[in-house]
Homo-oligomer: A and B are copies of this chain.
Amino acid sequence: MGKSVLDMSVSLDGFVAGPNETPENGLGDNGLRLHRWIGFGEEADGEVVPGRPEGVNGEIWDGLMTSGAVVAGRGTVEPAGWWDGDHHDGVPIFILTRSRTPESVEQWPLITVLDDAGEAIGRAKEAAGDRDVLVHGVGCAAAALEAGVLDEVQLHLVPILLGDGRRLFEGIDLERLHEFEVADVREGRGATHLRYRVVR
């Protein structure tokens, strides 16, 4: 069975989005720069240039694109327009949320909405078979860590300071200390890719 892998691009000061997030300013001020390693935000005017990047970044990208299911929260999927119902290659998508979703979500057969992290990741793993499950978002990270259902964490550490915005690790119940061990470190253009196993 595959692993559940939290995947996030994060600034050196721990933010996954900059300050002043709005629907028109999706990742907040300077937030697009966090995704420059995959080609997004390459242009100075913030224009989106998607596509497989070269070198190490491309290898990392390939790893993400071979995942067999996606688990994400509202804060991730809504600014991304629900990926028009397909994150990549038609793999099943599980959206973790406690709030009501718009009716239009029902039009997308790949999307399942539920409110329990253990169930979301369990069903995603089942659907993914031998492939990994891609876990996205701050809320999902906290819920999956607390529920003990996260196997790995992959961070794309981007060497900028955003100063304010949305923090990756926040609001996690720390009754127990969460501890990881390094599985892989790779240096790409504009990001250090750190992969950790969750120890406890």
Contacts and interface: CB of A to CB of B under 8 A. Distances in A.
A177 B13 contact: no
A161 B174 CA distance: 8
Interface stretch (A86-94, A117-125, A164-172): A164-172
What bracket does the count of chain A residues touching chain B fall in?
20 to 34
Contact of A187 (B160, B163, B180, B185): B185
A158 B168 CA distance: 16
A178 to B, nearest CB: 4
A182 interface: yes
B169 A12 contact: yes
Interface in A172-189: 172, 174, 177-182, 185, 187
Contacts of A161: 145, 169, 172, 174, 177-179
